[in-house]
Structure 1
């Protein structure tokens, strides 16, 4: 089969022929129908991220995967051949959380093997191209909003970075009733997208009148919650300055750069908080699928482009260079 393989030691990436995987006991195999291209995949290829638990030097990328079960391993119950499913982005093994497409082979391939417990059935109404990126691109902002931040109806929320995760955060914050929702992005197209997705205000972080505009948008109270999806130090510093009394800044975007708070005394006096966030729980994914079935959310506007698996390297380049300002590029074997 074809698979997008990364040698993490040499940083060489290629779509190449490899043996078809076989479902072992307690596992299933899916014929992959769609797989998302995430910025963390780009970071892996560029060497900014390194697998912690990978056995060997080479891994098939792809942690956002959906398809059809075509093989059942011994002992698997409650699932059937031909069933439409998505795969959770990772799993816990012996007390260690492993990430699909990082610590073990993922779904940039014609076939992917998964533990039966990581399989989530899909309704027929949910297209594979939209389902595949619910784990991570949708579930990560959902968990950041509902679990880490505990966002509340009627309370203000700011979003720095309206890309693959931030665009979904706008929709999800609107779903939980946060208001006003203020999107911050240097790209005009991203700000326009934020407004189309439900933001009340969209601001350019480089505008000389940014602080005044934020004050007007929050009615002088500052933000109850600020979400950093950009992973850029300047964005985090601006987000921290935009918080109101008791405000929380949630760090979702990844960076190895230090965080600077310009006025630590004021930060403490106002009882503000900095909260780290990473990933989501399996129940977040199943909840989001249920919300889709109920008609509360949909992701058709998030599919920026569908490309053949053979063109995975080009998809990575497009995302890295933000060509076409993509939310999610989806690969199809």
Structure 2
């Protein structure tokens, strides 16, 4: 029996370790991908510490109480399962989408949005492994000149803020934008907002290093949320207009309290960062009178990943600065610890083989 290394989380004990497990066999409509790069996300940390848990685990994960982590994965097609309908061949360079439809719910039956989407590396085995099985409809080809470590982080680290800005926030050129939290997702939100043409792009983070990074990534202004002159600085930067759209990538209730009063009439706050804490609106009268909105956002669509691959491959979006470190798969636990402690203030740590 062939074996491989895999970063496995024991859901019953929340114990994470790199273990030797059998190499999986692709089933009908599936492909076996040899992992070349896999991103380490804060949600992986939250899965390990128990803050997050699989919402719709597959029968295999539910029965074994074990799952291989990793939802940002790029690699090479290694072997093909039966009954493939696409044109796949060993050696093709691919990136995996970070989830898949359940194919069982009423939404899937009617070709509508899936009501119970499954997340790679959460609900089914992900890519922190030498090899990972992927359904063919979750694979996207990548060009030869796009490095694996940059391609790997496109699903989620880049596609989630991209979809938040383009879809949920519907950001337009010359529109004022505020971005709270300039970590792994927020840093890319700053770059995407500038690429879209938002003006001004205001980044908000309590960490001086994060504010410096935001400016390097194209923010017009970077503010400390605790600055006594915070509201006045936003007013000056927007020439009294306020923020057309604000984005919470920090996942902190205080963001809404600070951002909502700064929204222009008709403006929106888009919640991207996850928190179990309630979001409170202090003045609901003015909120309603001015037609403001609060929207939730999660993940991205297949089109978003394909568009970002095209933008990155064409040089419109340089993701090289986003790869903070490359760590061997065997040292995945250390990579998780480094992210949890924010050692070096990383944007994305990438596991490699």
The TM-score, its normalising length taken from structure 2, stands at 0.93
Measure the CA separation in 1 of the matches of 2:207 and 2:256. 17
Which of 153, 173, 186 is the aligned partner of 1:153?
A: 173
Q: How does 1:1-333 map to 2 (within 5 A)?
A: 1-54=4-57, 55-56=62-63, 57-76=65-84, 77-94=86-103, 95=105, 96-333=116-353
Matched residue of 1:93: which SS?
coil
Deviation, 1:15, is 0.5
Deviation, 1:234, is 1.2
Matched residue of 2:299: which SS?
coil
Measure the CA separation in 1 of the matches of 2:145 and 2:200. 32
Matched residue of 2:179: which SS?
strand
Measure the CA separation in 1 of the matches of 2:218 and 2:276. 31
Matched residue of 2:203: which SS?
strand
Measure the CA separation in 2 of the matches of 1:135 and 1:267. 34
Point out where structure 2 has 5 or more consecutive residues left out of the alignment: 106-115
Measure the CA separation in 1 of the matches of 2:250 and 2:22. 38
Could you tell which deviates more after superposition, 159-168 or 72-81? 72-81
Matched residue of 1:67: which SS?
strand
The TM-score, its normalising length taken from structure 1, stands at 0.98
1:205-255 superposed Cα distances (whole Å, 9 cap, x missing partner): 011111111111111111000000000111222122221111100000000
Measure the CA separation in 2 of the matches of 1:115 and 1:301. 30
Deviation, 1:93, is 2.0
Measure the CA separation in 1 of the matches of 2:255 and 2:338. 23
Measure the CA separation in 2 of the matches of 1:327 and 1:171. 13
Measure the CA separation in 1 of the matches of 2:256 and 2:143. 38
Measure the CA separation in 2 of the matches of 1:63 and 1:295. 24
Matched residue of 1:155: which SS?
coil
Q: Cα RMSD (Å) of the superposition?
A: 0.9
Deviation, 1:79, is 1.2
Point out where structure 1 has 5 or more consecutive residues left out of the alignment: none
